Structure 1
């Protein structure tokens, strides 16, 4: 570590002001600790050469990369020079445009998963994770994941003791869990396959009952193999994965908005086996149903 470490927060057009200044304050606090004093933080409006790390913060709207074409260009140059490049939430788009991701795992807000898959299919986007770090690249998930990125950068550039001291000062958790608990599933009915939409509506109304691929294929009026192929093409999910997603979403809603026993919720959402429901729920959210209710219910 050296007293020359310099981090630039790139305040592009539309960048979230609260995040920009929150990152600056947190990093500046750590860098200003008397026994460290090894970090200097600057807010810039574009990519200024010569920094050790660049942070592309979140935005409150979709990023228009064409409005500031210099940012991905200079990000690429600085990354090639050896700088660490970082993003939070939709800030990942700048890194993707700069061509610094390749096919490596990265993360962003779960709501941007489809956009990343469409525009940057080579990137291994994993929206379940809050933070993914590489030696030259660090990406953080949701809009508030700037806290997690800041903690990681403090540990990297200043040290673990400074990171812990900063977390105590700002009263934030260190090493938070993944983003699965915050994700929601909204069925996509915008495709043009009427037979598959019919099956989707059958799942929506009948998720609490026993559903098989054969049942759904009959609802769609298709042979089973044809149904599976067309369903997966239209929704991006296999039929039974889709059924599980609907059931988990309905269970989450009941956990938040009802006082039903968890075993009853399991039964009402299509799970005859309470233990199986618990396993599926944890797999989808990273939490037990009990913990999910405790965290999110009113």
Structure 2
């Protein structure tokens, strides 16, 4: 019986307190499956090792898929999973950041999933570069790392030596990207089909919900935000918004943008599209009816805006996300 081929490459996963185990273990399983498909095609498998911080400040293997190799190999790719509760602060991130900087300097590729981007950004290596994380953490991330070009619309951003993936289950997209890179597209497609994963690529903005900034401390702007939420953004001009707080229009626009990171018009658009998504998910109203109900007389303009903000047409969005119990208008 022929011996199993030696691994073609190694992926090291950094374990830290309360990290996302489903990602770490799931990716390990995915790589094992991909490795078998690679062998079936006459290729080599991959090695996955898990690493934990030691009392002496270093890191050591806690487990891997080819223990018979001992420490004979080193990961070409280092991956940082996210965490379901609590973003690591600067002090907690420091030892992991130092380790990753050293590995990167030795030629390794760095990758993260979900909140793992916070540990990756703590290295300073993301400065001025594009990256993504879970859309839920976007504001926190921008506050801590304003020099990173954060794009939470995307599921995976592959910037060569650094790869970041979005929230939680985006590890499946990241895993397929790594398989494609290390074992080729044929093995990647075989793996995706076996695991029933869409290999065509997704975007976070299909799933992300508008989360307005409400903790900015500007009471006047907050009052307008609450007023807009009650009216669902319908038929409201910037002048009407400014009048709610007796503010000159130009001053209002400047303060609104500073507080919310959006212009008043952009903010209202997001409110309207959020309401439109609810109608598409839970009613059977036509797209034209929904456009009218959220404040758009021009259904074509509504469709164009919806696609720009959500990444899908209203019809495609309904096909993917409509509830089975959606009610007729």
Query: Smaller-chain TM-score range?
Result: over 0.9
Matched, 1:18 2:22: yes
What does residue 43 of structure 1 align with? 50
- The answer (yes or no) to whether the contact 1:148–1:175 under 8 Å persists in 2 is no
What does residue 114 of structure 1 align with? 139
- TM-score calculated relative to the size of structure 1: 0.94
Report deviation, 1:58: 2.1
1:192-240 Cα distance to aligned partner (Å, 9 max, x none)? 3232223223322334642221222222211111111111112111110
Change in Cα spacing, 1:242 to 1:37, as seen in structure 2 (3 Å) is same
Structure 1 vs Structure 2 CA RMSD: 1.8
What does residue 172 of structure 1 align with? 197
Task: Tell me how far apart the structure 1 counterparts of residues 273 and 249 of structure 2 sit (CA, whole Å).
Answer: 24
Stretches of structure 1 that go unaligned for 5 or more consecutive residues are none
Task: Tell me how far apart the structure 1 counterparts of residues 134 and 79 of structure 2 sit (CA, whole Å).
Answer: 16
Bigger shift: 193-202 or 144-153? 193-202
Matched, 1:56 2:60: no
- The answer (yes or no) to whether the contact 1:79–1:100 under 8 Å persists in 2 is no
What does residue 35 of structure 2 align with? 31
Task: Tell me how far apart the structure 2 counterparts of residues 222 and 72 of structure 1 sit (CA, whole Å).
Answer: 46
Task: Tell me how far apart the structure 2 counterparts of residues 150 and 121 of structure 1 sit (CA, whole Å).
Answer: 28
Q: Within 5 A, what are the aligned runs for 1:186-265?
A: 186-207=211-232, 209-265=234-290
- The answer (yes or no) to whether the contact 1:232–1:239 under 8 Å persists in 2 is yes
Q: Within 5 A, what are the aligned runs for 1:94-133?
A: 94-133=119-158
Matched, 1:6 2:10: yes
- The answer (yes or no) to whether the contact 1:88–1:141 under 8 Å persists in 2 is yes
SS, match of residue 99 in structure 1: coil
Aligned length: 297
1:105-141 Cα distance to aligned partner (Å, 9 max, x none)? 0111111111111101111010000000022111111
Task: Tell me how far apart the structure 1 counterparts of residues 175 and 45 of structure 2 sit (CA, whole Å).
Answer: 15
- TM-score calculated relative to the size of structure 2: 0.85
Stretches of structure 2 that go unaligned for 5 or more consecutive residues are 1-5, 54-58, 61-72, 324-329
